[in-house]
Structure 1
Amino acid sequence: MNAMMQREIEAQATLLPELQPQLAEAADRLPRAAGRIFAGGCGDSAFAPQALQDVFRAIGVDVEAKTSMEIAAFATLKATDTVLLSSISGGTKRTVDAAKAARAAGAEVIAITCNGESALAAAASHTIVLPFTPLSRKTPHTLDYAVTLLALGEIARSFAGLDRTVLACEAADLQERLAASDERARGLAATYKPAGKLVLLGAGCDLGTANYAAAKFHEAGGLLALSAETENFIHGMNFMLEPDDTLIALASTTAAEPRARTVTEAFSGICQTHLVFEIGGDLNPAGAFRRLLSQTFTMQLLCLAIADQQMLSVEEPRAGRANADAHAKAQSQAMAFSAEG
C-alpha cells in the first residue's frame, strides 16, 4: 500500500551512481576548509553527519555533527570555521537561522539543498544544489537522505584533496545491497510486535543511523521507536524493556560490534533482540560509505515492512490515526517560529 516509499527506496540504487560525478564536481568547486568543520541541520539533516563519522574518519577529515539549533544558538563559531548546512527545501527556519549566525561570526557557510533560490541558499556563502527532484516529501524520507549523505561525503572528500572517484558506486552493487537489506529487514519485521516498543542502538556512526531509523518510524504514523548509544542504554534505559519490545543493535565498525553483540545477547531473554552486523575488510572511504548505505537501506526497508504489516499509509499524518489534524497543525505552528521573530 506504500508504493511511493518503495519506489523511493529502489530509486537509490540507480540515482546515487548517476549523481556521484555531478556532486563530486560541485564539491571540487568549493573553497577548501581552513579550520574547523561543522555539519548539520534539522531532522535527517542532523542525523546524516552523525551517520557519516566513519566515512569522514576514513577520508581523513574531522567533521563535527551539530543540529541547527546548536549552531544557531549555542556554538562558539570562528571566522576560520566552515559550516555545512543541509535542507532539501532550503526553507527550514532553524537551519536558515544557523546559516545567518555562522555568517555573522565570519564563518564560511555551505548550503546543501534542492532549491538554489531558497532562504538557506541566500544566507550561505556557497551552495551545492542537489541535482535531482524528490519523488515525494510526504513519505518517511529515504532517497533525499541518501543523496544528502553522498553530498556531504563528496564535500569531505574534496576537502581532503582525494580523487573524485573515491566514493563512486555502481548501480549493480547497490541493487545487490538493497536486495540483501530487504531480506534482512523482512526477517526483523517478522518478530516485531505492535504492542511493544522498538529500541534502536548504535555507537559512533551507527548512533546516527539509529537516530535516523527511529525518526522513520515516528514519521510512519507515530510509531513508538527509541534510539540510544549502545553503551549508555545499559545504564538505566534498559529497565524500560518489556517482553513485547524489539531491540536492534547496529554495528558497522570493529569497535562497535563486540559491545553490540554482548548487549543483544544479554537482553535476549527479556525481549526480541537482533544484531544488524555490517563489517567488511575494506576500511577505505568507499567501504565505509557502502557499509553505511547497507545499514541505511535495512532500516528504511524495515520501516516500510512494518508500516505495510500494520496497514499504515505513510503519506498521511500519523498514518490517518486519531488526532492527525491536530498534530499536523501543532507541527506547522512550531516549525514556523523563527529566532528573528
Structure 2
Amino acid sequence: MNEMMRREIEAQATLLPELQPQLAEAADRLPRATGRVMAGGCGDSAFAPQALQDVFRALGVDVEAKTSMEIAAFTTLKETDTVLLSSISGGTKRTVEAANAARAVGAEVVAITCNGESALAAAASQTIVLPFAPLSRKTPHSLDYAVTLLALAEIARGLAGLDRNVFSCDASDLQQRLATSEERARGLAATFDPSGKLVLLGAGCDLGTANYAAAKFHEAGGLLAVSAETENFIHGMNFMLEPDDTLIALASTNAAEPRARTVAEAFSGICRTHLVRETDEDPSPAGAFRRLLAQTFTMQLLCLAIADQLALRLEEPRAGRDNAAAHSEAQRQAMSF
C-alpha cells in the first residue's frame, strides 16, 4: 500500500555505499575544528546528532547535539566554535537563523543540505551538498535521515583525522541488515494495539533514535507515540501506561542494555513490552554506525508495517485521516515565521 516509503527504505542499502566515498571526500575538505563542535537542525536533523553520540565517542570527537533554536537563541556562541547544521531543503527558518547567529560571532558554519543554492548554504561558511534527491518528502522520512547520519559521521571522522574508509559499507550487508530489521519489525507490529500509545525509550545515543522513531509515527498520520530517556521514564512518566499500550526499550550499547532490559521486564505485567537489543559489540566507529543503522532500519520498518496494518495512506496529508487540511494550514502558519 505504501510503496513509496518502502522504496525509500530499501534504497538506503544501495545509496549509502555509493555516497560514502563522495561524502568522505567532501568531509576531508573542511577545515579542522579549533574549539567546540555543535551539530543540529530541526526535526530529524536534530535527532541525527543525538543518535550518533556513540559513533562520535568511538571516533574520539566531542559533538554537542542541539536543536536549531537552541543554537540560535540559547547558546553563547564563540568565534572558535564549529557549527554543523542540517536541512534537506536548506530553507528551514530556525536553522538559517542558527547559521546567521553563529556566523555573526565568527564561528565556522557547515551547511549539510541537498540544495547548494539555499538560504542555509548562503548563510554558511562551508557547504556539503548531499549528492542525492529524496524519492519523496511526503512519507515519514527515512532515506534522507540515513544520508544525514552518514554525512555527519564522515564530518566527525574527518575532524578526527581518520582514514576515509572507516565508514565504507557493502550493499549486500545493508540489504541483509534490512531483512533482519524487517523480520524484527513485523514481530513488534504483530503485538501493536492501535487503541493504545506507543512508548519508545532509549538512553544515550538510543534516545536520539527513540526521538526519531516517535517522529515517524507522528508523521504517519499523527499516531500517538512518546519518546523518553529509559531512566527518566520511571520517575513518573510510567504512570501513564495502560494495558493497550506498547513499550519498546532500545539498547544498542552495553551501557544501555541492563537498564533497558530491567525496565522492559518491570512493566511487562502492565502493557506489552519489548527490548530491541543490538548484539554486535564491535567497539570501532564502524561497529557503532552499523548498530545505529540496524536500530534505525527497525524503527522505519515498524512504522511502515503499522501504517500498512492501519491502512494509512502515507503520501496524503495526515495519511488521509480527518482534519488533514486544518492541520496542514496550522503547520504552514507556524513554520512561516
TM-score band, normalised by the shorter chain? over 0.9
Identity over aligned residues, as a percent? 85
Partner of 1:307 in structure 2? 307
SS at match of 1:274: strand
Partner of 1:132 in structure 2? 132
Partner of 1:60 in structure 2? 60
Aligned counterparts of 2:300 and 2:257: Cα–Cα separation in 1? 21
Aligned counterparts of 1:112 and 1:335: Cα–Cα separation in 2? 20
Aligned counterparts of 2:270 and 2:126: Cα–Cα separation in 1? 51
SS at match of 2:153: helix
Partner of 1:41 in structure 2? 41
Aligned counterparts of 1:309 and 1:280: Cα–Cα separation in 2? 31
Alignment of 1:254-293 (within 5 A): 254-293=254-293
Partner of 2:51 in structure 1? 51
SS at match of 2:260: helix
Q: Does residue 191 of structure 2 align to residue 191 of structure 1? A: yes
Q: Deviations over 1:92-124 (max 9, x none)?
A: 011000000010111100000000000000000
SS at match of 2:239: helix
Aligned counterparts of 1:268 and 1:281: Cα–Cα separation in 2? 27
Alignment of 1:97-176 (within 5 A): 97-176=97-176
Letter in 2 for 1:119: A
Partner of 2:245 in structure 1? 245
Aligned counterparts of 1:323 and 1:281: Cα–Cα separation in 2? 46
- Aligned length in residues: 337
SS at match of 1:262: helix
Instruction: State the TM-score, normalized to the length of structure 2.
Output: 1.00
Partner of 1:214 in structure 2? 214
Letter in 2 for 1:128: I
1:163, CA displacement in angstroms?
0.1
Aligned counterparts of 2:287 and 2:81: Cα–Cα separation in 1? 28
**Which aligned segments of 4 or more residues in structure 1 are displaced greater than 3 angstroms?**
none
Partner of 1:233 in structure 2? 233
1:314, CA displacement in angstroms?
1.0
Letter in 1 for 2:268: S
Instruction: State the TM-score, normalized to the length of structure 1.
Output: 0.98
1:279, CA displacement in angstroms?
3.0
Aligned counterparts of 1:332 and 1:262: Cα–Cα separation in 2? 42
RMSD, aligned α-carbons:
0.4
SS at match of 1:16: helix
SS at match of 1:195: coil
1:161, CA displacement in angstroms?
0.1
Q: Deviations over 1:60-98 (max 9, x none)?
A: 100000000000101001000000000000000110000
> Are the counterparts in 2 of residues 251 and 279 from structure 1 also a CA contact under 8 Å?
no
Aligned counterparts of 1:271 and 1:129: Cα–Cα separation in 2? 45
Partner of 1:89 in structure 2? 89
> Are the counterparts in 2 of residues 154 and 167 from structure 1 also a CA contact under 8 Å?
yes
Q: Deviations over 1:139-184 (max 9, x none)?
A: 1000000000000000000000000000111101100100000000
> Are the counterparts in 2 of residues 134 and 144 from structure 1 also a CA contact under 8 Å?
yes
Q: Deviations over 1:9-44 (max 9, x none)?
A: 000000000000000000000001111000000000
Aligned counterparts of 2:273 and 2:225: Cα–Cα separation in 1? 14
Letter in 1 for 2:303: C
Q: Deviations over 1:173-206 (max 9, x none)?
A: 1001000000000000000000000000000000
Partner of 2:321 in structure 1? 321
